[in-house]
């Protein structure tokens, strides 16, 4: 890393680059201003900023590097986590023990917490310090091992590296620190939170004294977090949805089994609901279904069906207009009867790509339609849907 990369001259040069220039032209221009090494690093930084501005933001973390930029939490999730911590322990002292590029340290600092940021990689730590100083936040940072005792704060945040050899792994023994070491660190603190992979299979009974949150952002499952100590006042499993409208929703309940519809019932449902992935991963689908008067359309299928309109932000609800077996002629006949031409396909338990099905099943009509394809015990069933407005939703 060049010592001048975080200087004002580099920032002025990057700010002045025309947005339509490609990477080659940017590098050529920067070579006229800086030495070859600094020009290369500045061009790489500019490229990362352009590639990450939709996911991270243009000015939130101005100093980026790979692979760190791929592992940064979504800003909305880091902000929500900092708000939760602030409600539980306002203005607390926190150790961000695997700070990476500093996203969590940034939001914790903006929320008024005294945060010490550490990382094993001194270069990554330099980027985090530059990002914090960009927002005029104090950069209390040092190179340290997350499993050590270099920092003595009551609370800790850990994000184990799940790409120890450059390749993502779900094996908790291979993480850095490992899951066992992470749990040991959490146990030494009054409260803490550790990020786990959202796709990790966590036994229903583990751990009973902590809180586990599955977090989705606008319908995309992005994080699983394990909360301990005084940061887990309500132990158990929770689904958290950060919705497109800016609202945050949380759902917690008992683990409940709900029997699926019979094949005959599934074909006659008036409403179909597609659950948010956070609900499914948290194992709370049965509880929510029972609460809403719904049943799974088939065993081990995410779609829920029933005769009453669901009212939950964790469910995308549709009114069933018609249904048919998954047979091209029968589906097209159903679409023709309702003047449907182009379609959007939603599916669960079916392997064909949605875009292929949208071309193959397209109807002869003029209106746009929505098809849901569900895997039943006796083949696939197709539902023609229209969006349903739940009570209390804006018209």
The domain spanning residue 100 has which CATH number? 3.40.50.150
How far is residue 313's CA from residue 326's CA, in Å, rounded to a whole number? 29
Q: Is there a single domain that holds both residue 233 and residue 269?
A: no
Structure tokens at 384: 């023609």
In a domain, residue 58? The reply is no
Summarised one tens digit per residue, pLDDT across range 209-243 is 899 999 999 999 999 999 999 999 999 999 999 99
Can you tell me whether residue 244 is helix, strand or coil?
A: coil
Give the model's confidence band at 355: pLDDT under 50 very low, under 70 low, under 90 confident, else very high. very high
In a domain, residue 146? The reply is yes
Summarised one tens digit per residue, pLDDT across range 92-113 is 999 999 999 999 999 999 999 9
pLDDT at residue 391 above 90?
no
Q: Is there a single domain that holds both residue 356 and residue 216?
A: no
Q: Is there a single domain that holds both residue 113 and residue 198?
A: yes
pTM: 0.92
Q: Is there a single domain that holds both residue 95 and residue 212?
A: yes
C-alpha closest to that of 319 among 395, 385, 275, 367: 385
In a domain, residue 343? The reply is yes
Total domains, the chain: 3
Q: Is there a single domain that holds both residue 89 and residue 146?
A: yes
Give the model's confidence band at 205: pLDDT under 50 very low, under 70 low, under 90 confident, else very high. low
The radius of gyration of the chain from alpha carbons, rounded to an integer in Å, stands at 25
Read off the pLDDT of each residue in 5-30 and give the average, rounded to a whole number.
93
Q: Is there a single domain that holds both residue 96 and residue 122?
A: yes
Looking at every residue in the chain, the average pLDDT score rounds to 93
Q: Is there a single domain that holds both residue 270 and residue 245?
A: no
pLDDT at residue 395 above 50?
no
Summarised one tens digit per residue, pLDDT across range 39-53 is 999 999 999 999 999
Give the DSSP letter string of 265-311: HHHH-SEEEEE-HHHHHTT-HHHHHHHHT-EESSTT---EEESS---
pLDDT at residue 26 above 50?
yes
**pLDDT given for residue 392 in this prediction:** 46
Give the DSSP letter string of 149-163: -S---SEEEE--BS-
pLDDT at residue 82 above 80?
yes
Q: Is there a single domain that holds both residue 149 and residue 214?
A: yes
How far is residue 21's CA from residue 51's CA, in Å, rounded to a whole number? 14
């Amino acid at each position: 890393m060049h010592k001048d990369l975080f200087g004002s001259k580099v920032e002025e040069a990057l700010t002045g680059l025309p947005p339509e220039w490609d990477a080659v032209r940017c590098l050529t221009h920067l070579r006229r201003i800086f030495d070859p090494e600094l020009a290369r690093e500045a061009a790489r930084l500019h490229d990362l900023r352009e590639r990450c501005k939709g996911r991270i933001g243009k000015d939130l973390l101005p100093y980026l590097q790979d692979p760190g930029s791929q592992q940064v939490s979504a800003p909305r999730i880091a902000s929500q986590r900092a708000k939760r911590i602030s409600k539980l322990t306002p203005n607390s002292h926190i150790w961000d023990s695997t700070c990476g590029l500093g996203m969590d340290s940034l939001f914790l600092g903006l929320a008024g917490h005294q945060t010490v940021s550490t990382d094993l990689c001194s270069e990554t730590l330099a980027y985090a310090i530059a990002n914090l100083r960009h927002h005029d936040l104090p950069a209390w940072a040092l190179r340290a091992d997350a499993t050590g005792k270099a920092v003595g704060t009551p609370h800790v945040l850990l994000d184990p590296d799940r790409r120890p050899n450059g390749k993502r792994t779900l094996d908790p023994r291979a993480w850095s620190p490992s899951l066992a070491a992470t749990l040991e660190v959490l146990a030494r603190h009054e409260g803490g939170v550790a990020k786990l992979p959202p796709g990790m299979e966590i036994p229903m009974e583990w751990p009973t004294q902590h809180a586990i949150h599955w977090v989705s952002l606008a319908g995309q499952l992005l994080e699983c977090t394990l909360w301990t100590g005084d940061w887990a006042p309500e132990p158990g499993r929770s689904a958290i949805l950060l919705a497109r409208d800016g609202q945050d929703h949380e759902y917690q309940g008992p683990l409940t089994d709900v029997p699926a519809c019979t094949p005959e019932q599934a074909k006659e449902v008036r409403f179909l609901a597609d659950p948010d992935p956070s609900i499914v991963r948290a194992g709370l689908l049965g509880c929510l279904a029972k609460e809403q008067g719904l049943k799974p359309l088939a065993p081990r299928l995410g779609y829920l069906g029933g005769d009453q309109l669901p009212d939950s932000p964790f469910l995308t609800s549709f009114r069933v207009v018609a249904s048919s077996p998954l047979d091209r002629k029968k589906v097209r006949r159903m679409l023709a009867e309702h003047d449907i031409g182009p379609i959007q396909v939603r599916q669960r338990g079916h392997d064909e790509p949605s875009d292929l099905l949208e071309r193959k099943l397209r109807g002869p009509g003029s209106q746009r339609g929505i098809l849901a394809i569900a895997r039943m015990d006796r083949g696939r069933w197709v539902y023609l849907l229209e969006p349903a407005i739940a009570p209390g939703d804006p018209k």
